[in-house]
Structure 1
Amino acid sequence: MTVLVYCDRCGEPAAEGDHSACATARVLEPPRFCPDCRRRMKVQVVPAGWTATCVEHGVRHS
């Protein structure tokens, strides 16, 4: 069984295309898409970091 992993910035499959711009942007930005299911995450940015929540896979922290 093949498990797809998605880019957490653009939501496209991580194995397809060039995601170097996404990787560069992710240094300063929180993730926007869940890498497990491609759902858009609820993101909260605070001075100390960020929290991103997927309704299916839970919370990710900076």
Structure 2
Amino acid sequence: MWCDHCGGDLALGEHDSCRAARTMEPPRFCPECRRRMKVQVLPTGWSASCVEHGVTSDTGVS
């Protein structure tokens, strides 16, 4: 598995700063294949698209 913020291997190194950043930012890398995703940020949330694994989104509505 890969870090969806920095794209690094989750088994190697610390990713505490990545987890902290992800509370405010959308993912940038696909956690399954490490490809850089196409990200769109809107006032109502975000969507991130991997060409291999599809779309992930967060509407920001709780």
Q: Give the TM-score taking structure 1 as reference length.
A: 0.92
**Separation of aligned partners in 1, 2:33 and 2:55:** 13
Gaps of 5+ in 1: none
Distance between the aligned counterparts of 1:49 and 1:42, measured in 2? Answer: 14
**Counterpart selection for 1:20 from 9, 16, 22:** 16
- Aligned CA RMSD, in angstroms, stands at 0.4
Residues 3-57 of structure 1 show CA distances to partners (whole Å, capped at 9, x for unaligned) of: xx00000000111100000000000000000000000000000011100000000
Q: Where does the alignment leave 5 or more consecutive residues of structure 2 unmatched? A: none
Q: Are 1:50 and 2:22 counterparts?
A: no
Q: If the length of structure 2 is used for normalisation, what is the TM-score?
A: 0.92
Deviation >4 Å, runs of 4+: none
- SS for the counterpart of 1:37 is coil
Other-structure match for 2:2: 6
Distance 1:26 1:50 in 2: 12
